[in-house]
Amino acid sequence: MFGSYRHFYIYEPKKRKISAAPFRDRVVHHALCNVIEPIFKLKRRERGSSCYAVPAHVVYFDQWIDGGAGGYAGVEAGFVLARDPDTVRAPDVAYVAAERVPAAGVPEGFWPTAPDLAVEIISPSETADEVRDKIRDYLQAGTRTVWVVYPRSREVLAYTPDGRAQTFGSTMLLEDPLVVPGFSCAVSSLFQ
């Protein structure tokens, strides 16, 4: 069972509300990151403030990249989803197909377009409205699939622009052959 978040404010450089998870919940968050990291092995770039990664590490991911699919994956990289007013979202993990990476390479700041795949890991403090807003923002901006990871129920919901949602339960393989062809992982492995 998840605990209650502790909320407090900091005032430097501006007033911000901070929500701190209990220690046990932070251990679960850490474990999830340790499962995601082998799937998207981080490869740091010195430019910009974002941390970028390329799919690697797992043998079939290496083959997928070597076969020419390639692309870039990022951890909390910012994407401009709308202009006037600007809407920038930073999914927990994002994937951009190789053909959509700008000719100049990985942007130093925010990506100017939506990712092909956005992954959001839901924390106990997020409301249904907040999650729905994120999904809507990504899909309206052109994201092809949004994977929403629910640690409590140990499932992943995949949303697509056509209004469909698919549930991947703990006994299923998580995959999307149209967006990340050749990639799959057991949903249960995300929660071990």
> How confident is the model over 22-42, as pLDDT tens digits?
777 767 666 666 665 555 544
Which residues, in sequence order, are CB contacts of 25 under 8 Å at separation 6+?
Answer: 2, 3, 123, 124
Pairing of strands 145-150, 117-121: parallel
CA neighbor of 73 nearest in space, from 104, 49, 106: 106
- Exposure of 100 by Cβ count < 10 A (0-12 exposed, 13-18 middle, 19+ buried)? middle
SS3 128: helix
pLDDT at residue 156 is higher than 80: yes
Average pLDDT, the chain: 75
Tens digit of pLDDT for each residue in 174-189?
899 898 887 777 888 7
Sketch the domain layout of the chain as residue ranges: 22-191
Pairing of strands 6-10, 16-20: antiparallel
Q: Which two tokens stand for residue 124?
A: 């106990």
Say which CATH superfamily domain 22-191 falls into.
tt1808, chain A (3.90.1570.10)
Supply the pLDDT for residue 152: 84
Q: Which two tokens stand for residue 147?
A: 């994977």
User: Model confidence at 167, in pLDDT bands (50, 70, 90)?
Assistant: very high
User: What's the CA dihedral at 24, 147, 101, 136 to 10 degrees?
Assistant: -110
Model-level pTM? Answer: 0.68
Give the separation between CA 45 and CA 117, rounded to whole angstroms. 21
Tens digit of pLDDT for each residue in 61-81?
344 445 556 777 777 788 999
Supply the pLDDT for residue 162: 95
